Amino acid sequence: MRCWNCRRPSGYREQVLKAIGGLAIALANDGKLEEAQQELDTLQKKGASFGDCDLVAAEILSLQKNYDQALALYIKVFNEVEDPQLLSHAYLSAANAALNQDDMEKAVRILKQGCQNLPEGQAVLQKEMLADLMMQQAASDKENAEEYYAEAQQLLEELVDSGYDTIATRLNLATVLQALDQYSEAEKVLKDLQEQYPSDYRFDMQMAYLLIDQLRTSGWLK
């Protein structure tokens, strides 16, 4: 007799495969590469998609410092996977792999692609990371610093306007605005933070730096 109470819910197989893939990635990130490889083998035997398997394989390769092979698989994953969470993870991991190769330009290209292709709510970390890289490039390339800071400003303001910002996001925005000599805008960001978090001393310190910078720029302080 058929056991109607034993029927598996719709999407059960997909949930199991997703759980196995997530476990494999977690194990890889925890440095347990042999166990991660075992979960990858299980994933392949159970008929998981190429994208899911490639993502796990890329994670393992990246942690083994085989960055070229890992990046090749991550790029495949961009075209194989539709799940926004998995895609988001792939873009971040690929960008980190590029940075581990000291290839910031490649990391920037990957993150920009992620920001363009991911839904707004899934591209938060990509925008944060990209803004941070823009700030790093501005600090190291004085000739083009204004252009990099302007790009960082746009990314950070998008995060603030969309409600996906953190304290760090707004502190970075204040720093960027200050670097672009937009002192009143930077002051407003810091005052808003002071009002929201009156016990956090970081905003008072950054406000002091802002005031000193403003006085120096105006010639009042030399």
Classify residue 9: in a domain, yes or no: no
Residue 67: give the domain boundaries: 16-122
pLDDT tens track for 128-174: 999 999 999 999 999 999 999 999 999 999 999 999 999 999 999 99
Classify residue 11: in a domain, yes or no: no
134 shares its domain with 103 = no
112 shares its domain with 38 = yes
Q: How far apart are CA 33 and CA 77, in angstroms?
A: 20
The CATH number of whichever domain residue 56 belongs to comes to 1.25.40.10
138 shares its domain with 115 = no
78 shares its domain with 131 = no
pLDDT tens track for 158-168: 999 999 999 99
98 shares its domain with 131 = no
21 shares its domain with 114 = yes
For the chain, give the longest Cα–Cα distance: 90
Radius of gyration of the chain (CA): 22
Domain boundary among 67, 101, 122: 122
pLDDT top residue among 179 and 26? 179
90 shares its domain with 150 = no
Classify residue 10: in a domain, yes or no: no
Classify residue 1: in a domain, yes or no: no
153 shares its domain with 74 = no
Classify residue 219: in a domain, yes or no: yes
Classify residue 81: in a domain, yes or no: yes
User: 155 and 129 in contact (C-beta within 8 Å)?
Assistant: no
114 shares its domain with 135 = no
In the chain, the number of structural domains is: 2
94 shares its domain with 153 = no
**How large is the average pLDDT for residues 24-47?**
87
80 shares its domain with 168 = no
Query: Which of 139, 115, 142 lies closest to 129 in space, CA to CA?
Result: 115
Domain boundary among 76, 92, 122: 122
Cα separations (Å) of 148 from 35, 123, 143, 193? Answer: 42, 19, 10, 24
196 shares its domain with 136 = yes
Domain boundary among 87, 122, 157: 122
pLDDT tens track for 6-20: 455 546 777 888 888
pLDDT tens track for 60-118: 899 889 999 999 999 999 998 888 988 999 999 999 999 999 999 999 999 999 999 99
